[in-house]
Structure 1
Amino acid sequence: MSNLARACVTLPGQSEINSFSEEVQMNTLKWVQNFDLAPQFKSIAWYTKARFGLQAAREYPKATFDQICLAGDLLTWLFTVDDTCDRGSDGAEAALTMKNMLYEFIDILENAGHPKDNNLSTGLANILERFQAISPVYLYNQYCDHMTDYLRECFFEIDMQLDRYIPSIEKYFEMRPFTGFYIMFPLVAIFEKLNLPDEVYEHKIVKEIELILNLLGCLANDLHSVAREESLEIAGFNLIFIAQRELNLTHEEAIQYVVDYHDEYLLKLEQCRKEIPFWSESINNQLDQYIQGLYTIVKGYDDWAVIDTGRYESI
């Protein structure tokens, strides 16, 4: 990884790790075995090395044991699907199989459909049942909507790779936010039992802050995965490669282009925080807690990917 790419993958501030990190890592591996995800989708060694339990511990440092286990299982499920989508794009038959699975997942989320003979679907139903038991209706619906958006974006990435389609910069910013971080955001309010009115979550400034933090995570992911993706036959959904082609940049110039965007969004985040309206002392204190929780997710993800696991180093 170039010095430019490494320079901004970690957001400012100190990160914490949940005290249950070791226990949740063991629990996550048990969950994988209980739903037979290994070796059908990935080997148990892959799940062990990935350390999704530690990722959850970084993203939710103050969560209870049950909460952190739920987050760890969700992250395990999401990365299994993400990796399976990558494999599904290797050929038409594999892609059709993966698309059928995605349709089934969406049916479960949108229509309370029942899992079929698919271990990932059974695992998803288990996660949804546990979330529904602890979530207010609004936050549960937000979580399901974000899950559905992510799965629909998976169709786009499969077709993009099958067709060898390189999207535009405009298309990148349209689709990239759906790739995962939004899913983790409602967990902050669910786990911390925040009591914010729905209209606060729907306020345009709060939505803008969510988008900015999401894009900060996506841009950092593009930067710290670039070395790995350079070695692949078909480049992933990465702004560095898109900008390099569309703007006729050198590779280092394209990296700097993404670094500049990352820095710009950090400035936008601070500006938006100054524009948050005042509702009441209680509401605004809880909103600050919520936004800090979103920031912790993105920083925790970065630290897990870069410091803890070197997940996206070249292969």
Structure 2
Amino acid sequence: MVRRFLSAVIALLGLGLLGCTTPTQFSDEVAQTCEGPVQAGRTTRSVVIDGAEREYLLSVPEVGHTEPLPLLLAFHGRGGSAAGMASISRLAELPALVVFAQAQFSQGMPSWQGAPYAPEVDDVAYAVDIVRQVREEFCVDDRQVNAIGFSNGGGLTSLLACQRSDIFTAVATVSGAYYQQAFDGCDRAMPMPVIAFHGTNDQVINFDGGQRNGENYVSATQWVTGWVERNDCHNVSQTDLGGVAHTSWSDCYDDADVELYVIADGGHVWPGGQQSGAQAPADQQVDATTIIWGFLSAHREP
């Protein structure tokens, strides 16, 4: 709660300092009134950013709507799609409003801000405007608005965590691509609950970091360690889950815990998800979707 308050103060002072060109403030009210049932299913919707229409998919769960629902924004990897992200992640099965965002093309492939190959568009503003639009039309619980990213989408998720902690309450990444551009604003970021997954045999975004597209990217461990330091965590525990090493940092400022799941011999896939394209079969040692949902729900704002 302290984190959200301080983030809101920073936003009022001008989030342009953090690289966001469209500061958008939302009401602190969370006890929203739900006016009857909303039709479940998936629809294509759009927002206008800098004069350009941009689409996204919105999945509405088949649950009662007497209480506000969590809102999850999911970002696919480079070359992926909103529909593909929905397929591999199964996030639409969760009892939440789930947005599957769609990146713009750059160098022949859909790509997100936060990478050297990203198109010159403001994806942070796109994400913020999606939240605004969904809140206006649906019963959203502002205490649980989350960003989830795969690969290049993980880089954008890093940006959102650093720049828009006034909106997003916790984030998750899978096989995240953490280029230098994904750290814009992180030196001034507020604490944020973070959970990450990465395979040691990821041939696209190496677990130990490396170079791709002419630029370096950091390792999953280095990215997570940055959040451990920002969150001022004091306790660490490690668990061997049989082919999966789980490290958890707790006793953090404002309960902003950090977790990392390292999948031995895991590839560039969504653990427990569906196989996509020519990628290796999804690792089945853990179910990333179930674990992510548990973590995000546990870090819902009070």
| TM-score tier after normalising by the smaller chain length | 0.3 to 0.5
Larger % of helix: which? 1
Q: What's the TM-score once normalised by structure 1's chain length?
A: 0.32
Higher relative contact order by CA 8 Å / sep ≥ 6: 1 or 2? 1
Structure showing greater Rg: 1
Larger % of strand: which? 2
